[in-house]
């Protein structure tokens, strides 16, 4: 579990780091005393959790929290503040906790334990319900073939079926492309276009195209896959471009 701390008061930041480092296994990825620097980091890096002060320079913590809450893949937010009056507003943007300064040792420790428990349960649920798969069963020449998910390069819609391409050839999934995407690891497979899914680990070249779109070349295959205009923003975020 990875977190950042956004807090402009050095003593408060050090105290929070002490509790995180000594009473949890949460990894502190970065710390910031400026909200705009934190926002820039979050636009290019994924974390699971943010400890966020409200009274910070440039952009106050509540405004930053509202921006983060609109992220498609948003981290949990824990507000750490001396101000009681923002608690209702914090929970309206789905903050997971609101901790008042000065910190209560028991309060901080219990919060850290609860956050870790929630994260571990979420990870276990993902693994148990099959969202994360290493193999998938597809059809080829009338036979059911077990294919390693990592071997899939891209997928293409064909009526109510989905064509699945590996370096070895073409397979068929007996479901539409929207349903098939749900069977794949979301951190690696991306719906680049209404008709295509790509494995971003197989991307070899990104070619700028018309109207601020892209075409994507994949390793080992002589094919170019379009990235539609509506999906460009998410694609740039995933590819960090």
Q: What are the structural domains, with CATH classification, of the chain? A: 2-128 (3.40.50.2300), 135-239 (2.40.50.1020)
Alpha helices in the chain (DSSP H): 10-23, 35-44, 61-68, 87-92, 105-128, 177-181, 232-239
What whole-number distance in Å separates Cα of residue 206 and Cα of residue 68?
Answer: 28
What whole-number distance in Å separates Cα of residue 139 and Cα of residue 133?
Answer: 17
- The reported pLDDT for the residue numbered 126 is 60
Residue 214 neighbours by CB under 8 Å, 6+ apart = 206, 207, 208, 226, 227, 232, 235
The pTM assigned to this predicted structure is 0.54
57 has pLDDT over 60: yes
Average model confidence (pLDDT) for the chain?
89
- The reported pLDDT for the residue numbered 131 is 47
Please choose, from the candidates 87, 104, 105, the residue with its C-alpha nearest in 3D space to the C-alpha of residue 96: 87
- For residue 241, what are the CA distances in angstroms to 39, 109, 121, 206, 232? 16, 38, 32, 10, 10
Cα first-last separation, the chain: 25
Tokens found for residue 181: 């995407």
Please choose, from the candidates 22, 12, 96, 102, the residue with its C-alpha nearest in 3D space to the C-alpha of residue 56: 12
| Cα R_g (the chain), whole angstroms | 22
127 has pLDDT over 60: no
- The reported pLDDT for the residue numbered 103 is 83
- Which range, of 27-36, 125-134, 157-166, 198-207, averages the lowest pLDDT? 125-134
């Amino acid at each position: 579990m990875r977190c950042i701390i956004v807090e402009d008061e050095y003593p408060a930041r050090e105290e929070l780091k002490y509790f995180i480092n000594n009473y949890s296994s949460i990894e502190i990825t970065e710390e910031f005393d400026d909200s705009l620097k934190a926002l820039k980091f979050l636009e290019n890096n994924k974390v699971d959790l943010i400890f966020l002060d409200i009274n910070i320079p440039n952009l106050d913590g509540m405004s930053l929290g509202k921006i983060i809450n609109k992220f498609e893949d948003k981290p949990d937010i824990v507000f750490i503040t001396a101000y009681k009056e923002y608690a209702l507003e914090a929970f309206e943007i789905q903050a997971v906790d609101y901790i008042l300064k000065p910190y209560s040792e028991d309060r901080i420790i219990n919060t850290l334990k609860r956050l870790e428990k929630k994260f571990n349960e979420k990870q276990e649920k993902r693994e148990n319900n099959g969202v994360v798969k290493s193999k998938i069963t597809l059809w080829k020449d009338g036979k059911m073939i077990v294919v390693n998910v990592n071997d899939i390069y891209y997928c293409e819609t064909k009526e109510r079926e989905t064509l699945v391409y590996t370096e070895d050839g073409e397979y068929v999934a007996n479901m539409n492309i929207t349903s098939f995407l749900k069977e794949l690891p979301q951190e690696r497979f991306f719906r680049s276009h209404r008709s295509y899914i790509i494995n971003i680990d197989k991307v070899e070249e990104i070619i700028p195209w018309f109207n601020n779109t892209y075409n994507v070349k994949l390793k080992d295959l002589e094919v170019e896959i379009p990235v539609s205009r509506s999906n460009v923003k998410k694609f740039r975020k995933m590819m960090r471009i």
